[in-house]
Amino acid sequence: MPRLVIGWLYNDLMSIYGDRGNVIALQQRAAWRGIDTEVVNVSIGESLPDRVDIYFFGGGQDQEQIAVSHDLAGAKGDRIRADIEAGAAALTICGGYQLFGHEYRPFDAEPLPGIGVLDVVTVASNERFIGNVVIESDWGELVGFENHSGLTSVGPGAEPIGKVRIGG
C-alpha cells in the first residue's frame, strides 16, 4: 500500500486553533483512497525526515512565531522550500501561512522573515476578522471560517485563490 508522509511543523507551538483536526482530515482522505499515512512531528532544533509529501503548519501567537521564524532560517527553511519546488504539497494555517511567505510584520515587534515559498507579505493590524467567509474561485465556491488580524499583500509571483464575496 502506498504511504504518504505528513510533516507536521511545530505541532507543539503552532496549533492554537485545533489544528490536529486538519491533520486527521488529511489522514482520513488518504485512507479513503487506500493510502497509509505517517505523521512526523518536527519542532525547534529537530531535523526534517528524509521524505515529506505534505507539510502541515498550523497557527500560533506572535511569540511562538518569533521562535519558529529563527528555527526556519537557514537549512530547515531551505529544505522545505526545495521540497515544495520539487512537488511536495503544503497546508498552512494562520501563522504557518504567514511564515511560508516572505515576511510577517507583527503589531509590536520586529518583522519576521519567512521562507518565501509564497509570494506574500502579511502585516498585523489592530482590526480582527472573525466569521464565515465565502470565496468565488475557478474551482467554484469555497466556504470557510476566518479568525485573523493579518492583512496579506500578494506579490507578482502569486495569484489570489479567488474573490471574497462574504467575509473580511
pLDDT in tens, 48-93: 999 999 999 999 999 999 999 999 999 999 999 999 999 999 999 9
Confidence tier at 94 by pLDDT (50, 70, 90): very high
Domains of the chain by start residue, with CATH: 3-118 (3.40.50.880)
pLDDT for 30 equals 98
The secondary structure element, H or E, covering residue 78 is helix 75-85
pLDDT for 20 equals 94
- The grid cell for 103 is 515576511
Q: Count Cβ atoms below 10 Å from residue 151 Cβ, excluding itself.
A: 14
pLDDT for 120 equals 97
Between 79 and 1, name the one with better pLDDT. 79
- The grid cell for 141 is 465556491
Q: Count Cβ atoms below 10 Å from residue 4 Cβ, excluding itself.
A: 20
Decide if pLDDT at 44 tops 90.
Answer: yes
